[in-house]
């Protein structure tokens, strides 16, 4: 079983739609959680950190459920420019500088 699992997609949604991605992690010692975004043939970039209390940044909302060991990302009012691969990332206690990536979920927003 992979340490961090995501549905690879692709998720094809029309502009303006709301879309949600989930991610599960296997190690209960997981410490920190992030969503990164990777555009085609580009490097990953931090989208947002994920906190237990949930956090929001504009149209993006991230949630963490430690009991069920899953993380979610909600995108409201999707834009064409949101088309990318969204990577769920986890770090573990004692290895905080080591990011463990999921395989990513591809989002394609269409007109």
Partner 1 sequence: DTAVSQTPKYLVTQMGNDKSIKCEQNLGHDTMYWYKQDSKKFLKIMFSYNNKELIINETVPNRFSPKSPDKAHLNLHINSLELGDSAVYFCASSQGGPILQETQYFGPGTRLLVL
Q: Can you give the binding site for partner 1, defined by CB under 8 A?
A: 31-32, 34, 42-46, 49, 85, 87, 91, 94-101, 103-104
Contact 33, 50 (CB under 8 A): yes
Strand (E) positions, the chain?
4-6, 11-14, 19-25, 30-38, 44-50, 55-57, 60-65, 70-75, 84-92, 95-101, 105-110
CB of 60 or CB of 76, closer to partner 1: 60
Output the smallest distance, CB 77 to partner 1, in A. 25
CB of 78 or CB of 105, closer to partner 1: 105
6 CB-near residues (< 8 Å, 6+ apart): 21, 22, 23, 86, 87, 88, 102, 103, 104, 105
Output the smallest distance, CB 103 to partner 1, in A. 5
CB of 12 or CB of 17, closer to partner 1: 12
CB of 18 or CB of 27, closer to partner 1: 27
Output the smallest distance, CB 35 to partner 1, in A. 12
């Amino acid at each position: 079983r992979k340490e961090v699992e995501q549905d690879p997609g692709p998720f094809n949604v029309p502009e303006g739609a709301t879309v949600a991605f989930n991610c599960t992690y296997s190690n209960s010692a997981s410490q920190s959680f992030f969503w990164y975004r990777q555009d085609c043939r580009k490097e990953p970039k931090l989208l947002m950190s994920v906190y237990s209390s949930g956090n929001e940044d504009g149209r993006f909302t991230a949630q963490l459920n430690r009991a069920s060991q899953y993380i979610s990302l909600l995108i409201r009012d999707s834009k064409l420019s949101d088309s990318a691969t969204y990577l769920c990332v986890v770090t573990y206690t004692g290895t905080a500088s080591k990011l463990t990536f999921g395989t990513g979920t591809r989002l394609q927003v269409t007109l």
